[in-house]
Amino acid sequence: MTVEGDRVRGGLVISPANLPTESLPPDAQQALQQALNTVPMLGDRPLYLGIEGSPRIDNSRLVLGDDTRLQVGRINLTVTDIARLTGLDPAQLNEAINLALPEAGITLDGLEFINGEAVLRGETQ
């Protein structure tokens, strides 16, 4: 992960076939399945997922800024693009993320940018 000012950029490599799709909203499940049906080789290969933006914490909730971009392989998508592709509006995308965090045992209290690092305050269970 890199931090420049209040912008965070990071990512990871996943195997789409191993994603726990049952925890995704139905529209996102359908979008993922449609992508895997359209390009079957996606399920068999590692795929880079990255995110870049200026997140903030508001009342213990992670809020992605309007400038957030998601990178899937070599494709860059805005929050608007993701909303259009999944059928979820930006508020629903933020809600899905915030529902997933407690399930992962994470509670957020704050986010600060100090000396080029993003410092999350919170608790893990």
Q: How confident is the model at residue 61 (pLDDT cuts 50, 70, 90)?
A: confident
User: For residue 105, what pLDDT is reported?
Assistant: 66
Q: Mean pLDDT over all residues of the chain?
A: 77
Instruction: Give how far Cα 69 sits from Cα of 28, 47, 76, 109, 112, Å.
Output: 17, 16, 6, 23, 20
User: For residue 103, what pLDDT is reported?
Assistant: 67
Calpha distance 63→56 (Å, rounded): 5
pTM of the model: 0.57
Strand partners, 62: 57
Calpha distance 56→80 (Å, rounded): 18
* pLDDT of 124 over the 70 cut: no
Q: Which two tokens stand for residue 106?
A: 């994470």
For residue range 94-122, list pLDDT tens digits in order.
787 777 767 666 677 777 777 776 676 76
Q: What's the Rg (C-alpha) of the chain?
A: 15
Give the length of the chain: 125
User: For residue 33, what pLDDT is reported?
Assistant: 78
Q: Which residue, 69, 104, 83, 107, is CA-closest to 25? A: 83
